[in-house]
Structure 1
C-alpha cells in the first residue's frame, strides 16, 4: 500500500513540478517578448500607451492692419499617465488606442465620433480637471481635444490632450496668419498644423451646434471637442523661440493646400 501511495505521489509531484517549470519558462519568454515589442515601439517613437496634457500659451503681435496674430507658441506639459489609468474601462481604452493609431499627418485629431467618443471626452475631461483644477489663476474658456501626431510629423508620438483658450485658437484659423509663428523647439511645428485643423473644425462644429439648438434639435454626440472653464497659469519664462523649418513638412503642407 505504501509503495502504491509513494508511486502515485511521486508521479503527481513530478507532473506538478514539470508544470511549474514549464509555466515559469513560458512566462519568462512572454515577458521578454513584451519587452522586445515595447523596445521596438520606443525606437519607432510610438508612445500611445501614454496620455499627456499639453497647455498651449500663445504670444501675439499686431499685423499691419492692427489685428493680433500669433507670434510665439509655447507648449507646457501639465502631466501624464498611462492610458489604462486615464481610461479604466478596457473597451473604451482599446477604442481610444485604435483611433489614435489611425490618425494621419493630414488629420492628427483623434476621432471622437459617436457614443464611444462622447464617453471618451467625458473621461478625458475628468482626467484634465483632476490634474489642473482648483488653481488660483484667472479663469478662461478652453477648448479640449485629443490628438496624436504620427511618425510622419513627430518622432515622439504620445496621445496628447490639447488645451488652448478659445481666443488663442481663433488666431490659428488661417495659414497666412500663423505660418510665421515661432516655437521653442523646431520639432513643435506639427502642433501648429494640428491647431490649424482644430480651429477649422471647432468653428464648423460650433456653427452646427448653434443651428441645431436654434431648431430645438438634439445635439447628442455632435461635440467632438469640449469647452472647459479652467484656471491655468498663462505665465511663462521667455525661453528663446525660433522659426519653424516648414520644408521638413512640405508633403503635409501640400496635402493641406498650403504649399
Structure 2
C-alpha cells in the first residue's frame, strides 16, 4: 500500500479592521416660528390679504396655505403677481412688504398673540439640554414682537429672519445661517455641524429646506395634514404631543429588544 504525503500549506490570514460609522450626536435644535411656536398664521393671512386690497378678496385660507404660507413676504408677493400675470416693480414689492409688516404688527397688538399649548414648557425643557435657534421667513421685528409677547424669546440664543438671508425656504440658507450664528456665539469648544442639528417645522418647504441643509426634521401638523408632511423624519400633531425622548431617539435610536430564545428548556 502506498501512501501519499500532502504538503501542508499555511494559509495567509489578514486582519480586517471593522469600520464603524461614528454616530451623529444631537447638539442643537432649530425652530420655525409661525405655525410651530406661535399661532400666528391667521394674522399673517389677514395682513397679506389686506395689503393686496381688492386683489386679495378672492384669497381663501386654502389657497393661501397651498401657495403662500411657507414663503417669506417678498417671495409671497412676487409669486402672487406672477400667477396674476401682473408686473411688479422692485420698489412696489418693497412697499408691499413694509405695508404688510405694519398691518401685521397692528393686528398682533390689537388682537394679541399666543404660543401654542405646551410650547413654553417644551422650549424651556430642551433649552436646558441644547442650544436653541429660531429660523423663520418672518421679518426681524415681527419675530421679536411675537416671541417676546409669548414669553419665550430668552430661550433662544439666536434668531434668523427673512432680513438675514438672500434666499428663503425651501433654500437651505435660513437653517445654515442659524448654525453659523450659533457657532459665532463662541459658547462651545467645537463648531456645531449641520447634521448635528434638528429642525422643527410645519411646512413642506420647510422640511425640504432642513433636509437640503443636511438636518433631520420633525414636522408639526398644524398647517398641513400628516400625509403632506410624510417626508419629514417624524410627524406629530403638535408640540404638545412631542416628547424630548422622541427628539433624541432620532439621533440615538433605542437598542433593539432581545429576540426570545428558541431553545427548548
TM-score interval, smaller chain: under 0.3
Query: With structure 2 as the length reference, what TM-score do the two structures score?
Result: 0.23
Structure with the bigger percentage of strand: 1
Structure with the bigger percentage of helix: 1
